[in-house]
Structure 1
């Protein structure tokens, strides 16, 4: 009997060292993909392997997991923007709820995507049915458990303290600025421009 999953689910990749990552479930996509940067191929046991970095948590690029896996293929994949590109393909065990099984993952730069992972129909076939109105049917993680799981990957802050003067911290451009600063170890503080003022007076500036 097929299990029911939602349009968003938590996935675990123990062999890659990823304790939890949110995935967008998309039965319209054939192949699953995971966010990966700094990808490089190397030889191990007379086989091609690939090293890459994953930022598994949305809106937090300061957490980076170094991964490696055997390279099983190089494949031309059409991105969500309609552009065809060559991607590295790996095969690794994935856990969803109580089920663990191997899936193929293409390594893709998903920095501009809301979700760090996309779960395609090849991983779903014969296992799950999707209820798009639901989310996180198999497993949930609290913020505290996520923080505890990723504590070893958090870098000690040694950067600057930066003020961002803007009107809305949730605008895409402001969020990217905040993410970029935090990923580089800086502390960034949002200041609402609507609550600030500057008096340009040579005698009594404020």
Structure 2
């Protein structure tokens, strides 16, 4: 039993000396930095990757690369849309609970979560039937965010680096 306490103390000390981590709730406002759009997102430690509600997806070629143009719902007016364009990093093959699989384009997005400016791959999928336009998974949060499962909206997006 003493070995367990010693391990926990070492683990806690390692985290204290490591990078600064933000404590956020299970639902937070996050900013898509490039477009300066703030959305309500679900922070999900059970999800490996992040996903974003993407409507009217249209693939095209730009400078010899595959790109995608898509729309998100304007958080200030649910009848309006905001258009985003990004290069496609890859196509993810997602196996669904029903057993069938779905292909999803994946783009790199920079999000501001609390005071953390984080970039990671994000799959584009129609999330209009879900409560949140964005789901932030471990790929964005690992090493930067601790999630308090009993809290929501602990910290507004405020990344000094995104104002430069």
TM range (shorter): 0.7 to 0.9
Work out whether 1:62 is the aligned partner of 2:79.
yes
User: How many Å separate the matches in 1 of 2:38 and 2:50?
Assistant: 16
Aligned to 2:51: 33
CA contact (8 A) 2:22 2:115 kept: no
Aligned to 1:125: 142
Work out whether 1:74 is the aligned partner of 2:91.
yes
- How far the C-alpha of 1:57 sits from its partner, in A, is 2.9
CA contact (8 A) 2:22 2:116 kept: no
Q: Which has more radius of gyration? A: 1
Structure 2 counterpart SS, 1:66: strand
Change (3 A) 1:78 1:117: farther
- How far the C-alpha of 1:93 sits from its partner, in A, is 1.4
Higher RCO (CA-CA < 8 Å; seq separation 6+)? 2
Higher mean alpha-carbon deviation, 78-87 vs 107-116, is at: 78-87
User: How many Å separate the matches in 2 of 1:72 and 1:20?
Assistant: 23
Change (3 A) 1:26 1:75: same
Aligned to 2:28: 9
The structure in which a higher percent of residues are strand is: 2
* Number of aligned residue pairs: 138
TM-score (norm 2): 0.77
TM-score (norm 1): 0.62
